[in-house]
């Protein structure tokens, strides 16, 4: 037993000596708990073969984990051009109908007393209701009232109404008739050029809370910047118009020579450009068979440059007529005046022509301009649709031309020609979702009245500049 205790004691002593030796060896290297004040060793003379990387989860918490929300973006085309134009410089009637909270001189036509008319927007408050020529002002509570955002014609009102009896039982005409379905029968409906329509229409100025939610014409400033740059630089430019009766100017009251004497849409367009860029408009009389008169005096908004206005449109022409008359109506004019912007609008009289053929004719017409002025910018104006209630052929292929024009414009652009479409077909169809055709037509068949003439002009200014690009 005593011997066993001696061996156990020797074993314990041996283990203790071994442990002391191990502790001594470990003390030769820095401990993991070495304080921050320990001497810094020399940097290695060679990078480690496997340089440690910091795991993504160990990134500092303040480091962004995604792209900054305010990352620099490419400047808008307006900023790239340094465009400085002010919407306040435009005439009130050129303020866009598809924006703002006030509508100016929107027209309606009542058929009978007690009728409630929908306008482009639900009415919030009435500013004024006047006769079409602006000489008479009608009274709320006596002549009209607002009912659920609509304008109601009161019994005994001084506002003219044609009556349904007259509107749907119009006498036959030896050359022109327009028929519509009424109470299950096809009947001749009322029509007439100019005053026969506008004498029954009234202007409504009103405020509204709703925003426009229909079709929006895109601004084509980027494509048409060549023309706009010339205006910014104060260069003299020529704007040439060609087309049918709508581009000619029917039924604008200036051309029809009665109050309120509002300009045609081509005249409104060049005046608006003059207002925006401080230019003078010089009206060049076309002097060709069927073309419209022009003002005898220049329009002076400023003297930075001159816009030469040439309009060779002829009422009743198809796009085929436009092609047949290229030499005198287009080529000679381009040779005489040049062409910086060409605006062409055929299509209303092409109802019997396939839309692709109409577009092809427009392409030929544009090429005739480009032969004489290779850097001309081009706008195809698709036509407003005619009276959609017509049952005797007035409304045919017109609403399918716009898509074909877009194809031609795209083709031109691929060949480095600046060409776009002002989509008046889409605009007119959007307006028809809120208003009746006779509310804004100048003949109840296929012409705009002054109100819709302005819509044409506003759509062109939206196309060329874009109201959103104005200050």
pLDDT tens, position by position, 200-219:
999 999 999 999 999 999 99
In this structure, what DSSP letter does residue 385 have? P
Q: Are 186 and 397 in contact (CB under 8 A)?
A: no
pLDDT of amino acid 294: 98
Residue 388 has pLDDT above 70, yes or no: yes
pLDDT of amino acid 5: 40
Q: What is the mean pLDDT of the chain?
A: 89
CA-closest candidate to residue 228, choices 239, 217, 218: 239
pLDDT tens, position by position, 301-316:
999 999 999 999 999 9
Mean pLDDT, rounded, for 5-30: 38
Stated pTM of the model: 0.85
Q: Are 380 and 423 in contact (CB under 8 A)?
A: no
DSSP for 124-179, please give it. Answer: SEEEEEEETTS--B--BTTTEEEETTEEEEPTT-SS----HHHHTSPPP-SS---E
Q: How many CB atoms lie within 10 A of CB 115?
A: 15
In this structure, what DSSP letter does residue 49 have? S
Mean pLDDT, rounded, for 226-238: 98
Residue 166 has pLDDT above 50, yes or no: yes
Mean pLDDT, rounded, for 137-165: 98
pLDDT tens, position by position, 416-463:
999 999 999 999 999 999 999 999 999 999 999 999 999 999 999 999
Under the banding of pLDDT at 50, 70 and 90, the label for residue 4 is: very low
Residues 6+ apart with CB under 8 A from 30: 38
In this structure, what DSSP letter does residue 74 have? P
Give CA–CA dist 251/254, Å, rounded.
Answer: 9
Residue 151 has pLDDT above 80, yes or no: yes
pLDDT of amino acid 67: 56
pLDDT of amino acid 73: 76
pLDDT of amino acid 72: 66
Residue 193 has pLDDT above 70, yes or no: yes
Give CA–CA dist 447/256, Å, rounded.
Answer: 13
Under the banding of pLDDT at 50, 70 and 90, the label for residue 66 is: low
Give CA–CA dist 458/453, Å, rounded.
Answer: 9
The domains found in the chain, sorted by start residue, are 102-207 (no CATH), 216-469 (3.40.50.1110)
Mean pLDDT, rounded, for 311-333: 98
Q: How far is CA 166 from CA 112, 160, 178, 187, 340, in A?
A: 10, 13, 14, 11, 48
What percent of the chain is modeled with pLDDT above 70? Answer: 85
Element (H, E) at 299: strand 299-300
């Amino acid at each position: 037993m005593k011997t066993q205790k001696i061996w156990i004691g020797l074993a314990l002593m041996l283990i203790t000596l071994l442990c002391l030796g191990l502790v001594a060896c470990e003390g030769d290297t820095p401990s993991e708990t070495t304080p921050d004040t320990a001497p810094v060793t020399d940097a290695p003379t060679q990078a480690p073969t496997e340089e440690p990387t910091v795991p993504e989860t160990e990134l500092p918490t303040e480091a962004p984990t995604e792209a900054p929300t305010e990352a620099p973006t490419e400047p808008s085309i307006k900023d790239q051009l340094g465009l400085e134009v002010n919407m306040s410089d435009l005439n009130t009637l050129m303020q866009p109908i598809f924006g703002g909270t006030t509508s100016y001189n929107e027209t309606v036509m009542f058929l009978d007393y007690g009728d409630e008319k929908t306008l482009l927007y639900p009415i919030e408050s009435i500013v004024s209701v006047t006769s079409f020529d602006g000489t008479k002002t009608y009274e709320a509570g006596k002549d009209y009232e607002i009912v659920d955002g609509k304008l109601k014609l009161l019994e005994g009102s001084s506002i003219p109404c044609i009556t349904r009896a007259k509107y749907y039982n119009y006498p036959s005409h030896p050359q022109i008739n327009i028929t519509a379905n009424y109470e299950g029968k096809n009947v001749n409906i009322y029509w007439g050029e100019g005053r026969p329509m506008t004498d029954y229409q009234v202007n409504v100025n009103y405020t509204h809370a709703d925003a426009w939610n229909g079709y929006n014409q895109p601004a084509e400033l980027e494509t048409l910047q060549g023309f706009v740059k010339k205006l910014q630089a104060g260069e003299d430019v020529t704007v040439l118009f060609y087309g049918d009766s709508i581009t000619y100017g029917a039924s604008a009251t200036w051309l029809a020579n009665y109050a309120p004497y509002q300009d045609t849409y081509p005249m409104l367009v060049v005046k608006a450009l003059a207002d925006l860029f401080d230019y003078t408009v010089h009206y060049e009389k076309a002097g060709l068979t069927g073309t419209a008169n022009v003002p005898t005096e220049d329009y002076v908004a400023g003297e930075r440059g001159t816009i030469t206005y040439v309009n060779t449109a002829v009422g009743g022409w198809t796009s085929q007529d436009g092609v047949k008359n290229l030499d005198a109506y287009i080529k000679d004019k381009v040779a005489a005046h040049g062409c910086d912007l060409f605006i062409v609008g055929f299509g209303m009289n092409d109802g019997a022509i396939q839309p692709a053929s109409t577009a092809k004719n427009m392409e030929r017409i544009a090429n005739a301009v480009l032969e004489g002025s290779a850097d001309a910018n081009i706008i195809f104006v698709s036509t407003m649709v005619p009276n959609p209630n017509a049952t005797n052929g007035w409304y045919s292929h017109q609403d399918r031309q716009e898509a074909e024009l877009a194809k031609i414009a795209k083709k031109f652009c691929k060949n480095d020609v600046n060409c776009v479409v002002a989509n008046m077909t889409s605009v007119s169809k959007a307006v028809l979702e809120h208003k009746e055709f006779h509310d804004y037509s100048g003949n109840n068949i296929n012409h705009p009245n002054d109100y819709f003439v302005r819509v044409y002009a506003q759509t062109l200014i939206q196309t060329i500049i874009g109201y959103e690009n104005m200050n």
